[in-house]
Structure 1
Amino acid sequence: MNYKRISLVYAAVLILSAVFYIPDSAAAKQENGGILIIYSTLDGKELSDVKMLDLIAGHFSSRVTVKKDADVKRTDLTEKKHIIYYGQTKRKLNKQLVSQISACKTPVIAIGYNAGQFSQFSGLSLTSKDSVYQVRSTSEKSEASLESGLKVLDVSGLKGKALYTYTSADGKAHPFVWKTDKANVYIGLTNLLNNNLLVAKQLREAFGETTGNTLLYLRLEDISPMSDEKLLLQAGSYLHERNIPFILSVIPVYLNPKTGDKVYLSDKPKLVKTLRKLQDMGGSVVVHGYTHAYRYSETGEGFEFWDAEADQPITSQNAEDAPSLLKKEQDFPNEAAYNSYLKPFRKNEETYTRQKLTRAIEDLTAEGLYPLAFEAPHYTMSEHGYQITSQYFSSIIGQVQLSDETWKTSGTGPFVTKPAMLHGMTLYPETLGYVDASDPNPLGDVEDNISQMIDFEGGVAGAFYHPYLGMEYLPELIDQMERIPNSEWLDLKKTKQTVKTDKVVIHTNGDGTIQVKSKVNAVEEFFDHHQQSPLEKALWILSSVVLLFVAMFLSYTLYLRATLKKRIFKERKSRG
């Protein structure tokens, strides 16, 4: 058998799998013509609400295009099967766009303002109404209560039927979601962050998707070299006993905020052994950053891919550098000048991000831990950062940052999705939150979110749990999650994933096995990542030389002893 030839074929298969990889959640959606989202915002920027719409739409097609109204061309519409228009602000749209959308033969979904300018919604009249706390689907008997007030646009003047209504103080029902006679849908909302489940339901109905099973997942969060391996093993073993696949969210390096010293996973063999055991017991490893820290913040508490102190993207390749406060676009004469100004900062961000992701993947692989996805620390990362990350990972876990202006706006839709903003990555959303032991009711928020996902049906109910909490809350959390009807647990190993660097290709094809092609050398990794200065490198070289001489001395000593014994034996024998 020609083993060399088999190895070459195996390597080629892995490389081709990485190049032509399509996540299983999106594979069935490739046959459609994609979705075009057209938006109108005050400054023309793709704001958080637009990104939320992208997150929701990405569930229904793996090919979503997002464009501001002024940039839409005729070919953009003809190439897409579904058109969604979102008007966050009132605006007189250009005649060409109005004509093009009005001529669409496929149904149009319109959200917010300006929809009355299209022929599909001719005669539409809107009245703004704030602080609506009770809404009702016309297909359901009872009203649904909302914790926070929902801003709606009261709809009138359309032919068709109401899909959602709210009740005013005088007891009258007022429609704010409407389906026309020709199956066009209007949604009277301008704030999509406040209740994305309602929008998701309407898109699911408009696209003709039936409600499937709810996907459950649980992450064991913030596992670093300083984690207690006994508590970690206890939590993982419990999940294994209940036949629940789980996610291990691992940070390869712990950063001491006081001294700047680093502790590596390779320094903690017992923890590594525990992680390998849990990986064999159904755990799927994901990269949760490299240090989960920026500058000298503590691992697990600090940010890593966003400068939280300046509240802006990473601007320096060295995390210890003082931040360069970025200028705003309004400080420049045009967009081209602004992009030219940002170019060196984006290059620094790219170098920094690539280094972190590469080291995280390769450090874990060197320890026999094979990451299958990525989770950004504190869910913070610029869209440029997501674009870079997509070259290393096919999937991302948790929530995502919805703005390049601030880290304080993050979120997710209720579905597995492949939105435009993630540049080809599939998102497995975290929708339930976590157990907060500092709260009087630690599972309170999780339980509320579970109730929402029960009402929604067929989404993703993802949560995370910190192993340092021990077993006090874990059984109840699992019990609460499993009360969601028609649910099943996510096993990342049984999905199609690809993680890669120049030295590593990790691939799953959906059958539960992990294929690894690695050129990582554990000793090489040790010297690459543990040494922090030329002096330390010199000391390690000197130590190695001394160790070599000691080994040679011991070998020579043993040789002399062996020679002496032989000589003594011969002399005794000759004397006989």
Structure 2
Amino acid sequence: MISLHFMTVPWKKLSMILASFLVLFLMVSVPPAQGSSPENTPGLRSPAKVLVFYERSTRFGETFPLVKALEEYLGHFDVQVEEMACSQWTPGSLKGYDVIFYLGDYKRSLPNNLLSEMSQVHKLFWFEQNIEQYAGFEKWIDFHDLGLLSDYVSLHYNGTNLSLNPSEKFNCAYPDDAQDRVVADNLHGLVPFVWEKDNVVYFSRLDFQNPFNLILGGILEDILSGNQAASKQVLLRIEDVQPLTPPDTLVKLINTLAIARIPFALTVTPLMELDGKTVSLIDYPQLVKVLQTVESNGGCIILKGYEVTNGTELEYWNAKGDKPFDVSKENAALSGISKGIQLLAGLNLYPVAFEVPGSAMSLRGYKVLAQHFTTLSGSVQLSDLSSAQSIDVPFTYRSKLAGMLVYPENLGYYDPKLLDPSGTILNKARQLSVVSDCTAGFFFHSYLQADKLLPIIKGLHQMNYQFVDLRSTKYQVTAPNISIAAQNGYRNIKSDIPAVSIDQTLKGLRLSVRNFFYALVALLLIILLIFLYILTRIRRSKSNLYEKRRS
């Protein structure tokens, strides 16, 4: 007879053993979480130390700040960015960096010890010229240098064809065994436009216009963010609400979005000039009542300046001269930021972000603005040389220039003058989705009919865009006597701003109307009495004249 002997184990000890096996199983079977930081890219620490290494900060004969624009794009990632001109390089200068962006916008000879330092970084993003020298240093075989090419009509990336102006030129150079990430097509053949080999990621052209900006953003996302799962979001702004905005039209827009359960942002400018006098939202209580319903209907308030300007003027920028205001005038304009926050707070309206009117502001102005807001909606002006120096970025980013988190405006706006305004926005959104972790932004004027917005919402949903609710984001707004701080949907407001009673204002308004009516009636009665008095005098005069003639 065979006897079986079972070893008895105390329950607590058995529990610990089973728990250990469970933890081990979970560690083996559950994949690591993906994020938008370099820690998901093998070999990169977080935050990665990045150097923008440039031949020139602008192209020859141009003023557009290439280095500053690239640094804005890098603000999307968990990286520490520094910059260095190639002329400042000394042996050993590149050591300690995880990623180098080399901006080779013109041909020059690169020393071997510089090429050696470049070869030792984890990732080397190389733009345009001089790549053949690196290929020679690394002894790459079958390397082709075709020089500047043009007459290409599209770029193929991530299964999407992006249209290209045939007149655009790019530097074409590549090894046969590189991995092609983007190819250019001239309808007769394909050539590599972006490729990867060893530690090098090569771009044939550095440009921040469409479609090059989408290629740049997409490749950076693919490599620096560790190929995370695709995520698409869009911020909808209802634009240009000011004291004269018709409340009824705004109510229809808000109700339409609330029924569709679409989060939105409403940009508000609280002051404007009317018939030579300055009027504010306080003078239009019915509109204020509507604005106070925005949050309960899924929306939020964005402060867009303090006072509406006339014609082509801009609040924070000398539009006529395309330059910053003088310091005294700029200071006066910037002081309105605090006043705007305080005025809205007095009406129980609390902004979550700021929009710069016309996206035009000096670099000094941004520094002041960043003291009041941590979130900006729109575009950032890159220099004080011209308000035209701005970029479309395909994702949110922490602006090095503005010092705020930026939600880009890259889909434009609903323009009724276009043949297909909805289709224009949706086509841009379709192109933007080539970037795996993209954020779109567009605006719809508050005076337009709400039904014009529905096809855009439907189209964006079909492309799997999620609408951004800024209320659930982390932000801070500060001004004298008030601070607003929010995180994970919870908001903390500390305010000593006196509240303005809209009910009292409405009562006062009704009383004023009633008094005006009474005064008008009294005036008409007086006029009528005067008329009757004059008529009686005339009749008496005629009667006396008649009696005299008879006598």
For Structure 1 versus Structure 2, the TM-score category normalised by the shorter chain is 0.7 to 0.9
Offset, 1:353: 5.1
Q: Counterpart of 2:511?
A: none
Offset, 1:497: 0.4
Instruction: Give per-residue Cα distances to partners, 1:301-325, cap 9 Å, x unaligned.
Output: 631121110001122423xxxxxxx
CA–CA separation in structure 1 for the residues paired with 2:368 and 2:138: 40
Q: Which amino acid aligns with 1:274?
A: V
CA–CA separation in structure 2 for the residues paired with 1:118 and 1:383: 37
Q: Counterpart of 1:57?
A: 74
Q: Which amino acid aligns with 1:162?
A: D
Work out which of the residue numbers 393, 407, 412 in structure 2 matches 1:428: 407
1:390-409 aligned at under 5 Å gives the runs 390-409=370-389
Q: Aligned residues, how many?
A: 454
- Per the alignment, do residues 81 and 74 of structure 1 end up closer, same or farther by CA in structure 2, a change over 3 Å counting? farther
- Per the alignment, do residues 394 and 66 of structure 1 end up closer, same or farther by CA in structure 2, a change over 3 Å counting? farther
Q: Mean Cα displacement is larger for which, 465-474 or 87-96? A: 87-96
Offset, 1:69: 3.3
CA–CA separation in structure 2 for the residues paired with 1:418 and 1:496: 13
Would you say 1:270 and 2:286 are equivalent positions?
yes
Q: Counterpart of 2:481?
A: 503
Q: Tell me, yes or no, if the aligned pair for 1:64 and 1:420 is still in contact at 8 Å.
A: no
CA–CA separation in structure 2 for the residues paired with 1:74 and 1:252: 57
CA–CA separation in structure 2 for the residues paired with 1:50 and 1:43: 7
- Per the alignment, do residues 73 and 222 of structure 1 end up closer, same or farther by CA in structure 2, a change over 3 Å counting? farther
CA–CA separation in structure 2 for the residues paired with 1:143 and 1:277: 43
Q: Counterpart of 2:472?
A: 494
Would you say 1:228 and 2:246 are equivalent positions?
yes
Task: Give the number of the structure with larger relative contact order, counting CA–CA contacts within 8 Å between residues 6 or more apart.
Answer: 1
Segments of 5+ residues of structure 1 without an aligned counterpart are 1-23, 319-348, 524-576
Q: Which amino acid aligns with 2:498?
A: N
Q: Counterpart of 1:290?
A: 306
Would you say 1:302 and 2:302 are equivalent positions?
no
1:146-545 aligned at under 5 Å gives the runs 146=164, 150-157=168-175, 159-168=177-186, 171-180=188-197, 182-194=198-210, 195-207=212-224, 208-256=226-274, 259=276, 261-293=277-309, 297-298=310-311, 302-318=313-329, 349=330, 351-352=331-332, 354-423=334-403, 425-485=404-464, 487-511=465-489, 513-521=490-498
Q: Tell me, yes or no, if the aligned pair for 2:373 and 2:478 is still in contact at 8 Å.
A: yes
Work out which of the residue numbers 152, 155, 159 in structure 2 matches 1:132: 152
Offset, 1:131: 4.1
Q: Counterpart of 2:16?
A: none
Offset, 1:491: 0.8
Offset, 1:490: 0.8
CA–CA separation in structure 1 for the residues paired with 2:459 and 2:347: 35
- Per the alignment, do residues 164 and 392 of structure 1 end up closer, same or farther by CA in structure 2, a change over 3 Å counting? same
CA–CA separation in structure 1 for the residues paired with 2:229 and 2:482: 38
Would you say 1:33 and 2:48 are equivalent positions?
yes
Classify the secondary structure of the residue corresponding to 1:476.
helix
Classify the secondary structure of the residue corresponding to 1:478.
helix
- Per the alignment, do residues 162 and 454 of structure 1 end up closer, same or farther by CA in structure 2, a change over 3 Å counting? closer
Instruction: Give per-residue Cα distances to partners, 1:498-557, cap 9 Å, x unaligned.
Output: 11123221111112x32111222358xxxxxxxxxxxxxxxxxxxxxxxxxxxxxxxxxx
- Per the alignment, do residues 221 and 83 of structure 1 end up closer, same or farther by CA in structure 2, a change over 3 Å counting? same
Q: Which amino acid aligns with 1:389?
A: L
Q: Counterpart of 1:104?
A: 120
Q: Counterpart of 1:562?
A: none
Q: Tell me, yes or no, if the aligned pair for 1:353 and 1:385 is still in contact at 8 Å.
A: no
CA–CA separation in structure 2 for the residues paired with 1:417 and 1:283: 22
Q: Tell me, yes or no, if the aligned pair for 1:65 and 1:420 is still in contact at 8 Å.
A: no
CA–CA separation in structure 2 for the residues paired with 1:73 and 1:255: 59
- Per the alignment, do residues 62 and 235 of structure 1 end up closer, same or farther by CA in structure 2, a change over 3 Å counting? farther
Offset, 1:144: 4.0
- Per the alignment, do residues 238 and 28 of structure 1 end up closer, same or farther by CA in structure 2, a change over 3 Å counting? farther
% of aligned pairs identical? 26
Segments of 5+ residues of structure 2 without an aligned counterpart are 1-34, 501-551
Q: Tell me, yes or no, if the aligned pair for 1:225 and 1:265 is still in contact at 8 Å.
A: yes
Q: Which amino acid aligns with 2:449?
A: G
Q: Which amino acid aligns with 1:505?
A: S
Q: Tell me, yes or no, if the aligned pair for 2:37 and 2:47 is still in contact at 8 Å.
A: no
Work out which of the residue numbers 103, 110, 113 in structure 2 matches 1:86: 103
Q: Tell me, yes or no, if the aligned pair for 2:151 and 2:186 is still in contact at 8 Å.
A: no
Q: Counterpart of 2:542?
A: none
Offset, 1:100: 7.3
- CA-based RMSD: 3.1
